[in-house]
Amino acid sequence: MLFVDDLGYRDIGVYGGPVSTPILDGLAAGGVRFTDFHSGSGVCSSSRAVVMTGRHHIRAGIYHVINDRSHDMHLLEREVTIAELLKSAGYSTAHIGKWHMGLPFHGRDKPTPDRHGFDYWFVTENNAWPSHRNPVNFVRNGTRVGELEGYSSHLMVDEAIVWLDARRFHARAHGKEPDQPFFLNIWFHEPHAPIAAPDEVVAKYGDLDDPAAIYSGTIDNTDRAIARLVEKLKVDDEFDNTLIVYASDNGSYRQDRVGELRGKKGSNFEGGHRVPGIFHWPGGIARGRVETEPAGVVDLLPTFAGLLGIDPPSGVHLDGADLSPLLTGRGEFKREQPLFWFSPDAGAAVRDGRYSLVAFPGYRLPKDREAMNDLYEQVRAVLEAGDDPALTHGDLWTQMFNGFDNPEAERLRIQFILLNQFRESWIPALKAGGFDRFQLFDLEQDISQQTDKSAEQPETFARLKQTLLDIHASVMADGPDWTQSVVRSD
């Protein structure tokens, strides 16, 4: 699985974006491309928990973006992950890249990826640091590896190739053919900030100091890294029999890269969670198909089970559906539960067919907004004093969540982020809270979600409102309260 970070619906070439991505375009042309595909959340950690479990992220223990220094929350060990499901069926498993579902590197007791089913792991807690170039924060099977030379996407593909070769060598060393199936989970950092890409790639898209050009360069560079992985699979004669899935953890933080969609990263409008969704498997699914059925990363675990003939986890509620009928053209697709999203800040949304219902929170999180605004103005003053180019490139508020080259601005920004981050002490209030306003949108007529149809479609509005409230209640009932010590043992 190829999972990218903060990539928008209109970023890559095959989705009408400005970035040259010939490898991804080719995978889409040779497989199934979803036009209405969705992340599990508008933000990172939450969406990743949905990918791994086929369940809403709150059921799996993650309410929002994780800071391992201050949060106890993590992906609960009781959850059955894709890796555990496939490992039980004889697959070897590896996770390479961003993790961001909790790691025990700051004195808090949290499981490592091997305790979630991965035989091998080469990960970062969160983003590549200090940027995609020469990162210093990778950990291999529990051991920090120090500074690496190169760009994150290529370093990760290097690691993947080494792992693939090691599998084959190990099998032959024991007199066996290297035919054990594998699950390789590659979670790229690009194009999440802090961004970096080779100058010759950035120059294709604009000035070398233009954040938009660098952003595009990171996506282009990742496509080049994926090309190396695809070539490796072909050389090993495994390409035709390997299912490749490509998606993003949420929408872009750049409004210009979500196209006609409303909202961006963090939002429950379409721009926050509608993302590319590409499936490629010459030996197992349709080729050259464009699928318009709404689907998402929540469907991956049940879909893998369906395609491979593996029983899904028993005794747990899966929020996703098996997409294999849509991918193979065999059988009837059925979704038992509409797609659902929740964020402590943004509220909730539910999707059923052509309609989307967005719900706004009826509570106000107790953030120190005065202090946050003061830090924002301090950052602006620092940038203005230095005539910093960051002031001329896009929305300053958005950049507060992504990073600055100016050291003083970055120091202030980190204070801002700490004030804004999720507090586990809010969980009881979230469980007790609700929604005070709802909007209904007909996405077939209004993909930009500009016209509220709740008054014109009262029956549809009432039905979806009740559906949203029911799913929300179920999710919150399952979600652990991290303020209670009993949760620590999962």
The token duo for 290 is 């464009």
Alpha-carbon gap, residue 488 to 367, rounded angstroms: 26
Q: Which residues pair with 248 in a beta bridge?
A: 4
The token duo for 422 is 């999720």
Burial of 175 (0-12, 13-18, 19+ CB in 10 A): exposed
What DSSP designation does 241 have? T
Alpha-carbon gap, residue 316 to 54, rounded angstroms: 10
Q: Which residues are CB-neighbours of 226 under 8 A, at least 6 positions away? A: 2, 23, 24, 153, 157
φ, ψ of residue 16 to 5 degrees: the values are 80, 20
Find the catalytic residue in 100, 116, 189, 273.
100
Element (H, E) at 160: helix 152-173
Find the catalytic residue in 38, 44, 95, 116.
44
**CA quadruple 148, 149, 150, 151: dihedral, nearest 10:** 30
Asked if 92 and 119 touch (Cβ cutoff 8 Å), the reply is yes
Alpha-carbon gap, residue 345 to 326, rounded angstroms: 34
Element (H, E) at 35: strand 32-38
Q: Computed from CA positions of residues 361, 298, 486, 421, in that sequence, does the dihedral angle turn out positive or negative?
A: negative
- Catalytic residue flag (residue 174): no
**Residue that has been written with the tokens 């004195």 in this structure:** 107
φ, ψ of residue 120 to 5 degrees: the values are -140, 140
What DSSP designation does 312 have? P
- 146 torsion bin: left (phi>0), alpha (psi -120 to 50), beta (else): left
Asked if 77 and 52 touch (Cβ cutoff 8 Å), the reply is no
Asked if 223 and 24 touch (Cβ cutoff 8 Å), the reply is yes
Alpha-carbon gap, residue 73 to 110, rounded angstroms: 8
Alpha-carbon gap, residue 4 to 270, rounded angstroms: 18
Alpha-carbon gap, residue 325 to 307, rounded angstroms: 9
**Residue that has been written with the tokens 């990171």 in this structure:** 218
Asked if 339 and 427 touch (Cβ cutoff 8 Å), the reply is no
- Catalytic residue flag (residue 56): no
Catalytic positions, please? 44, 100
